[in-house]
Homo-oligomer: A and B are copies of this chain.
Amino acid sequence: MVQDWQAKADAKRQAILDSIPEKWRLSSVPSAQDQKDVTGPYIQQFLDPKEIEITETDAVGIAKQTASGAWSAVAVAEAFCHRASLAHQLVNCLHETFFDAALADAKALDAYLAEHKRPKGPLHGVPVSLKDQFHVKNVDTSMGYVGWIDTFEGKPDDPRKGKYESEMVRELRNLGAILYCKTSVPHTLMSGETVNNIIGYTWNPKNRNLTCGGSSGGEGALIGLKGSPVGFGTDIGGSIRIPAAFNGLYGIRPSSGRLPYEGMANSMDGQNSILSVVGPLGSTAGAVRLAVRSILSQSPHLYDPMVVDMPWRDAEEQAVFDMAKAVSGKGPLAFGVMKGDGVVNPDPPVLRAIDLVAAAVQKAGHKVIEWKPPSHEKMLKWIFKTWTYDGGKDVHDAFGLSGETVAAQVAMSYGREAREQFKASDIAATNVEQRQSKKEYLDYWNSTAELTGTGRSVDGLIAPLAPYPAARPEGYKYYGFSAWVNGLDLTAAVVPVTLADKSIDKYPEGYEPVSEHDKVVFEDYDAEIYDGAHVSVQIVGRRFTEEKMLAIAEYVGGLLA
């Protein structure tokens, strides 16, 4: 018997498909077996040359064309609406489309430019995709929960339903961005894979046997297919970085309080030991930089009380470029390199990516030291506690609205029903552990000044952000490589490095796993399956070093090109 929630989920899934204009619908979608990789030539076949040119230009390039009027905002919006429609049909990456509103906005932007002879803002005519936690007027926010369909965060009669907009949406509109779709997430947001009862599973466009990552998985898949030049995700344990990495993109996990989260839907809202943060993913470092810099130009601290009054700091960025080029006695840069965390060693392609980056920066004259930090295992214990302070009450309440089933990937952390909650003194003790870990790590970071040979401590840490190139369905099981950055509230940027190569990416003969977690990662590895998948690293910096990490990401990316 079909459950009520299934019917509701099916109807919503169909409604998403139906929202795609007839002219952009695919008559059939090949299986993953028949067409593993749907990026590049595969998706291009459905687009005309101008659409390909537009959608394969990065956000910085698009902004240049639309600001000058060389490209109309309407043409750009249409091209991305088209390509996003194709992307969704190929990998299930959208929760919402609002193309008519986008085209109307684009038209208004073209009129604005014609009238004022200047763009509306630094994102004039740039399409920006949004993870389905942003509230946009006239559009649902389901966050993957069947019980949230046609409600405001689960409340069917809330007056904000269909009317309310998140603070960053307001800022993006001010900046001239074109909003046109919202992207898929795992229900609860607490998974490195993107799966829910509405859209099913979002596949990795580069290899449709693998996950696109999560929880900002729809963003990763969509931008990976160039159905968006830049988009915003969120990250409480890796949710921006994992999909950025799995789709060959740049992305940044800013420190908490840099970019405005105000008015977004969330899970476990009010848990404040580790805050989810919002940040962009894009096809180039420049796109990510443009997004961050543009938002900061809006003085978000005046509209989001959690944002710190810290404008974009050009000097922080310039310092990196000066050090990179050893300008006026500055430089070189100093990097730490971390290959494992004492609990897990990453799969061979990830280790190779780390080696590639380390070799590239060394070759360019920079310093590299081995990272020997305080125990990550000890940190991870309190970090994972914060995810279940409420025993899963919040997420199970949301599931309970419809009675829908819990995805295995989520049940892994939250079970199938709520458990006992932490009490105040347990939470306080966890917060003290957190602060102590932060202090230990800070002291360790400072101590590297003795080792780098630059007279300064490490500028950026080259590290894995996941054990896998891109996990297999139900295969994302270890969050230790990403979550420690959230636990310490550091800034981290993802840099795409290479593709997995089955001919070289092999575990050494007789590899002995270092822990139970490592055994699982080791045994799950299959060079054949991962062949051709994107492989990336993260560059981790101190807290509030967004300018610096983006500059390093851009520079390092350039060295690898």
| A13 contacts partner chain B, Cβ-Cβ < 8 Å | no
| A389 contacts partner chain B, Cβ-Cβ < 8 Å | yes
Q: Which residues of B contact A520 (CB under 8 A)?
A: none
**When the two chains form their complex, are residues A488 and B305 in contact, meaning their CB atoms are under 8 A apart?**
yes
Interface segment, one of A169-177, A246-254, A324-332, A418-426: A418-426
Chain A at the B interface: SS class:
loop
- The chain B residue sitting closest to A544, CB to CB, is B309
1/0 contact string of A355-393 vs chain B (CB within 8 Å): 000000000000000000000000000000000011101
Q: Which residues of B contact A425 (CB under 8 A)?
A: 390, 393-394, 421
| A75 contacts partner chain B, Cβ-Cβ < 8 Å | no
Interfacial residues of chain A within 245-281, with CB under 8 A of chain B in the complex = 257, 262, 268-273
- The chain B residue sitting closest to A273, CB to CB, is B272
| A428 contacts partner chain B, Cβ-Cβ < 8 Å | yes
Interface segment, one of A285-293, A400-408, A429-437: A429-437
- The chain B residue sitting closest to A316, CB to CB, is B309
- The chain B residue sitting closest to A397, CB to CB, is B425
Q: What copy number does this chain have within its complex?
A: 2
| A439 contacts partner chain B, Cβ-Cβ < 8 Å | yes
Q: Which residues of B contact A439 (CB under 8 A)?
A: 262, 304-305
| A112 contacts partner chain B, Cβ-Cβ < 8 Å | no
Interfacial residues of chain A within 431-452, with CB under 8 A of chain B in the complex = 431-432, 435, 438-439, 441-442, 446
| A306 contacts partner chain B, Cβ-Cβ < 8 Å | yes
| A43 contacts partner chain B, Cβ-Cβ < 8 Å | no
A301-B430 Cα distance, complex, nearest whole Å: 22
**When the two chains form their complex, are residues B270 and A427 in contact, meaning their CB atoms are under 8 A apart?**
yes
A269-B421 Cα distance, complex, nearest whole Å: 20
- Whether A430 touches B270, Cβ cut-off 8 Å, given contacts A305-B488, A390-B425, is yes
Point out which of A270, A301, A441, A543 has the most chain B C-beta atoms below 10 A from its C-beta.
A270
Q: Which residues of B contact A431 (CB under 8 A)?
A: 270-272
| A47 contacts partner chain B, Cβ-Cβ < 8 Å | no
| A560 contacts partner chain B, Cβ-Cβ < 8 Å | no
**When the two chains form their complex, are residues B442 and A303 in contact, meaning their CB atoms are under 8 A apart?**
yes
| A302 contacts partner chain B, Cβ-Cβ < 8 Å | yes
- The chain B residue sitting closest to A439, CB to CB, is B305
**When the two chains form their complex, are residues B269 and A428 in contact, meaning their CB atoms are under 8 A apart?**
yes
| A52 contacts partner chain B, Cβ-Cβ < 8 Å | no
- The chain B residue sitting closest to A303, CB to CB, is B442
| A15 contacts partner chain B, Cβ-Cβ < 8 Å | no
| Residue from B262, B390, B488 in contact with A424 in the complex, judged by beta carbons closer than 8 Å | B390
Point out which of A268, A305, A432, A489 has the most chain B C-beta atoms below 10 A from its C-beta.
A305
A61-B439 Cα distance, complex, nearest whole Å: 36
Q: Give, as a whole number of angstroms, the nearest-CB distance from A432 to chain B.
A: 4
Q: Give, as a whole number of angstroms, the nearest-CB distance from A396 to chain B.
A: 11
Listed by A's residue number, 11 A-B pairs whose Cβ atoms lie within 8 Å are A262-B439, A270-B429, A272-B272, A272-B428, A302-B442, A303-B446, A306-B435, A390-B425, A394-B425, A421-B424, A423-B423
Other contacts beyond A270-B435, A394-B428: 9, CB < 8 A: A257-B308, A270-B430, A270-B431, A272-B273, A301-B544, A304-B442, A305-B442, A308-B544, A421-B424
